[in-house]
Amino acid sequence: MRIIRANSRIQRSSFCLLAAAFLLSSFIYPESAQAAAGSKPGPPNRLGVLDPIIQNAIRQGQMPGAVLLVWHNGQVMYRKAFGNRSLEPRRETMRLDTIFDLASLTKVVATTSAIMQLMERGQVRINDPVAKYIPEFAQNGKEDITVRNLLTHYSGLRGDLDLTQPWQGRDTAFSMAFAETPVIPAGSRFLYSDINFIVLGALIERVSGISEDEYCQKNIFTPLGMTHTRYLPPAAWKSAIAPTEYDEQGRMLRGMVHDPTSRRMGGVAGHAGLFSTAADLSKFAQALLNGSTVLRSLAVEKMTTPQQPPTSDSLRGFGWDIDSPLSSNRGELLPVGSFGHTGWTGTSLWIDPTTRTYIILLTNSVHPRGKGNVIALRAKIATAVAATLPLTVSE
C-alpha cells in the first residue's frame, strides 16, 4: 500500500506541476533576456527572473557568489556566475569554471554511483547484510544492517563519527565506523548519517580492491568526460577553487575538503571530499537522464525511485533524496518524482526526469566564516524555474 501511495504522490505532483507552472508563468514573471552567453539557442523563456533572486541573496550575505545552471529538454537554458568566489584573504570574482567543494553531493555523484555499478556487475547485492562484505561491521548489533539501509539512511547509525578525540587516518575512521552501535533500530525511521556513506566507501574499496577515489576516477568521471571532478584536487587547480572556511588552525581551506571528518581521513571518504564544476555536474546529470555506459537506465531508475521501508513517510532513493525533511531545494512546484541532493558548503543538484529538467546551484556559502545559508534560496530558485520554463512531460 505504501508503494501505491508513493506512486500516487508522484503522479499527483506531476499533474500539479504542469498546471501551476502554466498559470504562474502566464502572469507572475515578466519577459526577460535569454540565457547567458554560451547557452544553446532555445525558445524564449523568462529565466532572467533568477538574476535578482541570486543578487539579493548575495547582498543579504547568504553567500559570496554562485554559479547557476539550468538545463531543460536538451538545452542549457540558463548559465551564469554571480558575485565573488573569494572574499578572504583577497576578493576574487566568481567564474563559470570555478571548482567547488561538493560536500555531501559526494554521496550521490561518487559513492552511490559506484555502489550501483558494483550491483550491476553482480559484485554487491543491495539487500545483503553489510557484514557479508565487511565482517567486522557486524559488531555491536549491526549484523542485520543491509546495504539498502545504508543507502537510504535507515541504518539507525548516528550522524557522524566522534570528533572530540584527536584521531587521524582512514583506517582509524573505518574502524570507528565499524564499531558504531545503532542509536535506533535499523529500518525504524529516517536518520541522515555520514557514517552510512563512510561505510559504503569502505565497502567499495573492499569489493573493488582499489581506493574509492581511484575507482570513481576510472569508472565514473573519466568515462563521462568530467575533467575537473576529483577527490584531492591537484595544486594546479587551486586558483580556480572556491575557498570555504578557516580551519581549526586558522588556515583558509582552498582545495582541501571542508568536512572535518573527511579531512581527518585524508580527503577521500564516501560522504564528502569531491570537487567539481557546474559543467561537469551537467555531464553527470545528463548521463542520468539520457542513459550512459556508466549506469544503465534500470540502475538509474532503481536509485532514484522510493526505496525506503514501507512504514516511512520520507521518500528516499538509493543515496538520492525524493521527498524528506531535507528536500526543500525541490521548491514548491517540481514534482515528487524528481530527485536531488545538497552539500553543506552550499551546493545542490535537483533533477526532474518527468520534464527533463535539472538545476545546478553551486555556492561556497560557508565562506569565509560559516555564516551563510542557502536553504531558502535553493527552494526559491527551483520554484521560479518550474514556474517559468515551458515545461513539458517527456514521452
- Mean pLDDT throughout 84-99? 98
Judged against a pLDDT cut of 60, whether residue 192 lies above it is answered with yes
Q: Which residues pair with 84 in a beta bridge?
A: 93
Q: What CATH number does residue 63 fall under?
A: 3.40.710.10
Judged against a pLDDT cut of 60, whether residue 23 lies above it is answered with no
Q: Write down the pLDDT at residue 392.
A: 52
Of the listed ranges 53-62, 232-241, 307-316, 341-350, the least confidently predicted one is 307-316
Q: How far apart are CA 274 and CA 229, in angstroms?
A: 7
- Mean pLDDT throughout 9-36? 40
Question: pTM for the full model?
Answer: 0.88
Local structure of residue 218 (DSSP, 8 states): I
Residue type, 109: V
Rg of the chain taking only CA atoms, in angstroms: 20
Judged against a pLDDT cut of 80, whether residue 198 lies above it is answered with yes
Q: Which residue has the higher pLDDT, 10 or 188?
A: 188
Local structure of residue 39 (DSSP, 8 states): S
State CA 157 to chain mean position distance. Answer: 20
Judged against a pLDDT cut of 60, whether residue 125 lies above it is answered with yes
**Joined grid coordinates for residue 184:** 535506533
Q: How far apart are CA 98 and CA 278, in angstroms?
A: 8
Taking alpha carbons only, the member of 160, 161, 153, 162 closest to residue 191 is 153
* Residue 217 falls inside a structural domain: yes
**Joined grid coordinates for residue 59:** 547582498
Judged against a pLDDT cut of 80, whether residue 348 lies above it is answered with yes
Residue type, 199: V
Share of the chain above pLDDT 90, in %: 80
Please report which confidence band the pLDDT of residue 29 belongs to, taking 50, 70 and 90 as the band edges. very low
State CA 7 to chain mean position distance. Answer: 23
Backbone phi, psi, residue 175, to 5°: -60, -40
Q: Write down the pLDDT at residue 15.
A: 42
Backbone phi, psi, residue 129, to 5°: -60, 140
Number of CB atoms found within 10 A of residue 394's CB: 12
Please report which confidence band the pLDDT of residue 43 belongs to, taking 50, 70 and 90 as the band edges. very low
Judged against a pLDDT cut of 80, whether residue 52 lies above it is answered with yes
Of the listed ranges 30-44, 69-83, 326-340, 344-358, the least confidently predicted one is 30-44
230-231 sheet: strands from edge to edge:
100-101, 274-276, 230-231
* Residue 339 falls inside a structural domain: yes
* Residue 394 falls inside a structural domain: no
Of the listed ranges 131-145, 251-265, 317-331, the least confidently predicted one is 317-331
* Residue 334 falls inside a structural domain: yes
Q: Which residues pair with 348 in a beta bridge?
A: 342, 361
Q: Write down the pLDDT at residue 325.
A: 85
Q: Which residue range forms the structural domain that includes residue 48?
A: 2-388
Taking alpha carbons only, the member of 293, 247, 272 closest to residue 120 is 293
Containing 216, the helix (H) or strand (E) segment is helix 212-216
Judged against a pLDDT cut of 60, whether residue 33 lies above it is answered with no
Q: Is the peptide bond before 89 cis (omega within 30 degrees of 0)?
A: yes
Of the listed ranges 68-72, 247-251, 335-339, the least confidently predicted one is 335-339
Domains: count for the chain = 1
Q: Write down the pLDDT at residue 37.
A: 33
- Asked if 72 contacts 46 with a C-beta cutoff of 8 angstroms, the reply is no
Share of the chain above pLDDT 70, in %: 87
Q: Write down the pLDDT at residue 391.
A: 58
What 3-state class would DSSP assign to 253? coil
| Mean pLDDT over the full length of the chain | 90
> DSSP letters along 341-371, please?
EEETTTEEEEEETTTTEEEEEEE-TTTTTS-
* Residue 203 falls inside a structural domain: yes
> DSSP letters along 67-122, please?
EEEEEETTEEEEEEEEEEEE-SSS-EE--TT-BEE-TTHHIIIIIIHHHHHHHHTT
* Residue 393 falls inside a structural domain: no
The residue count of the chain comes to: 395
* Residue 61 falls inside a structural domain: yes
**Joined grid coordinates for residue 316:** 528516499
* Residue 110 falls inside a structural domain: yes
Q: CB burial class (10 A; 0-12, 13-18, 19+) of residue 61?
A: exposed
- Asked if 308 contacts 72 with a C-beta cutoff of 8 angstroms, the reply is no
